[in-house]
Amino acid sequence: MDISGQDSDFKSLAETALGRGALSKFDDGQSAFLVEADFLHAVAENIEVKIDNSKLLDPSTQRFIDSKKISEDFGVIMHDGWKRLLEHYGGGPAIEREVVSVSGITKMLDKNPMRLGVSLKKSTDKGSSTTKLQKYVQINKYYTDQKILFAIAHELQFPDHCNFRIWTIGDSPRPFRFTRFADFKSIIGDADAIQVELVDTSKEKTNINYPDPWNVGEVKQMMSQEGGYASQRTALYCQGYEISFNEEERKLQFDPRYGNSNYGQQSNITPPEFRGLVGLQSLGNTCYMNSALQCLLHTPLLASFFLSGKYKQEIVKENKLGTQGQIAEAFAYLMKQIWGFGCKDKDKDQKKEQQKEKDQQKDNGKGILKDQRQQQKKKDQEKDLDYEKGKGKENDEKERKKEKKKKKKQN
C-alpha cells in the first residue's frame, strides 16, 4: 500500500473508532482495544504521534479512569486495527476489554472488570482447607449469573459432569448462591476472591447442606437455553429496574438474539448477529410511527411476550368493542419479521390460503354436482318404476275388460 493510501486507511480507522455506535460493530465476547482520543484525532489529521494511553489510566492504581467516556476521551478498535496502529505509530500501553451483549441488543463495555482470585477448596475429614490461589478470572459486571459460573468453571477446567459450590473467603467462609453480578459482588465484598468446592453428589454422599451445588454441564446448557431470561434480567437491572420471574414465566422468557427450540427448527432463520437490525420503510408521513415501533420492537420484555406466543393467552375474542386480537396478531407478525424468526412472506401465505379455499370450493362443487347427478338418477329410476307400474295397471285393466266381454258372450 502507498503512503497516501495508508494514511487514508488510518484516518478511516480513527474516525470509526471515535464514531457513535462504534461498539455495535463488535460481536458478543469480542475484544475491544481502547485508544486515547487525542491520538486518534491526530491520526485523522495525518499527524505522526505515538500512542499514549497512559492518560486513560490512574497513575497510582493503573486502573482505567471511570469518568472517561467513549467517543469523547477514547475510541474502540478491533484487534487487527490495533495491531496495525501499534506497528506504525508505536507507544502504548494496550488496554483490552471484552464487549458484552446485554439482552442480545445493546453492546456494553466494562472499563474496569473484576480480577477475581479463585482458589480450590478441599474437604478433609477434620474440616476444610484451602489450597493456594490457582487462577485469576476476569469477570465483567455485565455478565449474567450463568456466564460468571461458566467463566470460573472454564478457567479451572472442570469437566461437564462436575458439581461445585462457591464459598466466600475470610475468617467465616460460607457457601452462597447469586442471581446477578451485583449480588455476587455484594457477598464477596472488597476481597474479589472466592473458594470453589467440588461436590460429590453420588448416592453414598447425599447429605449435602444448602445451598445446592451447580453442575458444569447444566450451566453450559443454561447459557444457551436461558440466555434470554438472564440477559433481560441483567439489562433491566442495569437500567435501574428490579424484576424477577417465577419458573413458569421463566420458560416463556425469550431473548431474540439466541432463539429457542420452536423457532430454531426453521431453516429460514436470520443469523443471531443480524437479528433486529432491520429498518422500517417510511411511507412519507410514518417516520414518527416507525420510531415508536422500533422502540417497542426492541423492548426486551415486550419482545419476549410476543415472540414466545404468550400474548395469545391474553386475547379476548369475545369482546365486541375490540378487534378480536387482529392488532396483536399484526404486531406479533411484525415482531417476528424484525427479529428474523423464519417469518414467511405474508402475501404468499395469503395466496396459498386463497388457493386452498378455491380448491376446497372446487372439491365441494364437485361433491355437490355428484350428489345432484345421483339424485337425478334416482328420480329417473323412480319415474321409470312409476311408468312400469302405470303400464302394468293399464294391462291389468285391459285384461279385466276382456274377461268381462267373454263372460257377457257366454251368458
pLDDT in tens, 81-102: 999 999 999 998 999 999 988 7
- Is the pLDDT at 354 greater than 70? The verdict is no
Q: Is the pLDDT of residue 379 over 90?
A: no
C-alpha cell at 324: 378480536
Q: In terms of Cα–Cα distance, which of 109, 121, 203, 207 is closest to 165?
A: 121
Q: Over range 50-65, report the average pLDDT.
A: 93
Region 231-250: mean pLDDT is 44
What pLDDT is attached to residue 209?
64
Q: Are 231 and 104 in contact (CB under 8 A)?
A: yes
- Check: CB of residue 83 under 8 Å from CB of residue 44: no
Furthest CA-CA distance within the chain: 155
Q: Across the chain, what does the average pLDDT equal?
A: 76
What pLDDT, on the 0 to 100 scale, is given for residue 3? Answer: 55
Residue 348 has pLDDT above 90, yes or no: no
Residue 144 in 3-state DSSP? strand
Per-residue pLDDT at 263 exceeds 70: no
Q: Output DSSP code: residue 73.
A: T
Q: Greater confidence, 318 or 203?
A: 318
- Taking residues 346-357, what's their average pLDDT? 62
Q: Please give the residue that has the higher pLDDT: either 138 or 246.
A: 138
Is the pLDDT reported for residue 273 higher than 50?
A: no
Once rounded to an integer, what is the mean pLDDT over residues 3-7? 62
- CB half-sphere exposure, 255, CA atoms < 13 A: 24
**Could you give the C-alpha distances from 266 to 270, 271, 308, 341, in angstroms and in order?**
10, 12, 15, 8
Span 382-392, pLDDT tens digits: 766 766 666 66
Say if residues 134 and 120 touch (Cβ distance below 8 Å): yes
Which of 52-56, 162-166, 335-339 has the highest average model confidence (pLDDT)? 52-56
pLDDT band at 236; cut points 50, 70, 90: very low
How high is the pLDDT of residue 351? 63
- Asked if the model's pLDDT at residue 196 lies above 50, the reply is yes
Taking 60 as the threshold, does the pLDDT of residue 235 lie above it? Answer: no
User: Which phi and psi (to 5°) does residue 246 adopt?
Assistant: -80, 175
pTM for this structure? 0.54
Q: How confident is the model at residue 340 (pLDDT cuts 50, 70, 90)?
A: low
In this prediction, residue 318 has a pLDDT band, given cuts at 50, 70 and 90, of: confident
Mean pLDDT across the stretch 284-296? 87
Element (H, E) at 86: helix 79-89
Determine contact, residues 278/337, Cβ cutoff 8 Å: yes
Mean pLDDT for the stretch of residues 197-217: 72
